[in-house]
């Protein structure tokens, strides 16, 4: 059985009630719910400590896992929430979706599940490809490059940036590694234009324009 869990606690410092903030007429969490419900996932859940989020999830026809308050703090690790979910729900493959990536698409979820079902991977996660750019720390010091010998972009390897849209793992891998990814790991590459997350008001303003 393939299930998904959207982790959506009520607290958020940067944007109050971030997971249900309005994004072009829909709560933020709607976009993850919709992508999951239209994918190859058999059943979609929301794990939350918040009654308002719970009610919205039920309105959209998905199941709710009541998350204990001790698993809904600023310091809670997602793995603890996933292991709590695994105690409550049986599954073979778990799609862990973060509702802060509203540009998620059903096709991306299906692609990741196909990779797991191929038997070639134990877990996959979403990435975006990044070309090298000069980075500086907050003290205006170059990070991993020499100001007197600035490299050319084409001479530096591309990197995968973890964008946090979703992670997929088998039950066996989750329980044995206690991590969202383990064993043989693969990636689902997401185009830059769909990779943005809502963490700040600036992010929200940008995505409202993209998704408008």
Give the C-alpha separation, 94 to 112, whole Å.
11
Cα angle, residue 149 at apex, residues 143 and 150 outer, rounded to 5°:
60
The DSSP output letter for 151 is P
Within 10 angstroms of residue 71's Cβ, the number of other Cβ atoms is: 18
Give the C-alpha separation, 118 to 40, whole Å.
14
Which residues have a catalytic role annotated?
150
Give the C-alpha separation, 159 to 135, whole Å.
14
CB 167 within 8 A of CB 5: no
Residue 87, SS3 per DSSP: helix
Q: Which residue's structure tokens are 């049986």?
A: 90
Of 98, 99, 96, nearest to 123 by C-alpha is 96
Of 207, 110, 118, 103, nearest to 164 by C-alpha is 103
């Amino acid at each position: 059985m393939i299930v998904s869990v959207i982790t959506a606690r009520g607290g958020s410092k940067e944007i109050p009630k971030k997971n249900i903030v309005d994004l072009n007429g829909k709560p933020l969490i709607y976009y993850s719910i919709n992508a999951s419900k239209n994918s190859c996932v058999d059943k979609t859940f929301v794990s939350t400590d918040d009654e308002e989020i719970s009610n919205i999830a039920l309105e959209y026809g998905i199941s709710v896992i009541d998350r204990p308050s001790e698993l809904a703090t600023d310091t809670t690790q997602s793995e603890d929430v996933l292991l709590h979910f695994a105690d409550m729900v049986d599954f073979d493959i778990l799609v862990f979706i973060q509702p802060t990536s509203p540009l998620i698409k059903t096709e991306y979820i299906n692609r990741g599940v196909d990779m797991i079902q191929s038997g070639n991977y134990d877990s996959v996660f979403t990435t975006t490809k990044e070309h090298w750019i000069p980075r500086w720390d907050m003290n205006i010091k170059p990070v991993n490059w020499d100001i007197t010998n600035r490299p050319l972009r084409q001479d530096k390897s591309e990197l995968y940036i973890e964008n946090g849209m979703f992670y997929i793992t088998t039950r066996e891998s989750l329980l044995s590694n206690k991590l969202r990814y383990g064993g043989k790991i693969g990636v689902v590459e997401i185009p830059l234009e769909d990779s943005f997350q809502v963490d700040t008001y600036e992010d929200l303003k940008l995505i409202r324009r993209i998704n408008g």
